[in-house]
């Protein structure tokens, strides 16, 4: 039986987050540049978000908004909310409303 590769065992965001964590905070600039990559873009955003939870990073909020608009993916409100701060709360609420999810769906009770 063939052994799974690291990419199959762990999502790309995990690999990128661990890379940035162990290589140092300075490498987040490179990680930010990868957010526009066609295949790694979302994974890079997720990794940056995990590294910057609670930071209120306004640039990261805008990167998520751009991703949501370009990819027609409004289901990113939970990542935006994790960034923290008032601007992130407003952006997360805006994206939540655009997603069409109901509050019942969000807490796992059904809904649309």
DSSP 54-85: TS--HHHHHHHHHHHHHHT--TTHHHHHHH-S
* 107 in the same domain as 63: yes
Percent of the chain with pLDDT over 70: 78
pLDDT for residue 34: 82
Give the count of domains, the chain. Answer: 2
Q: How many CB atoms lie within 10 A of CB 28?
A: 19
- pTM equals 0.69
Domain with 107, as residue range(s), is 54-112
- The rounded distance, in Å, linking the Cα atoms of 85 and 62 is 13
Mean pLDDT throughout 65-83?
Answer: 84
Tokens of 51: 């590294």
* 112 in the same domain as 64: yes
Tokens of 47: 């990794």
Place of tokens 């940035």: 20
* 110 in the same domain as 59: yes
- Picking from 29, 51, 73, the residue at the C-terminal end of a domain is 51
More confident residue, 4 or 51: 51
* 47 in the same domain as 30: yes
């Amino acid at each position: 039986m063939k052994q799974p590769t690291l990419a199959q065992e762990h999502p790309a965001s995990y690999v990128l987050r661990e890379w940035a964590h162990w290589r140092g905070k300075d490498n987040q600039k490179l990680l930010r540049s990868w957010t526009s990559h066609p295949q790694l873009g979302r994974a890079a955003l997720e990794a940056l978000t995990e590294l910057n939870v609670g930071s209120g990073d306004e640039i990261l909020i805008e990167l998520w908004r751009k991703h949501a608009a370009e990819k027609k993916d409004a289901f990113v409100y939970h990542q935006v909310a994790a960034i923290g701060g008032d601007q992130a709360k407003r952006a997360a609420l805006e994206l939540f409303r655009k997603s069409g999810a109901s509050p019942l769906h969000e807490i796992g009770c059904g809904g649309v």
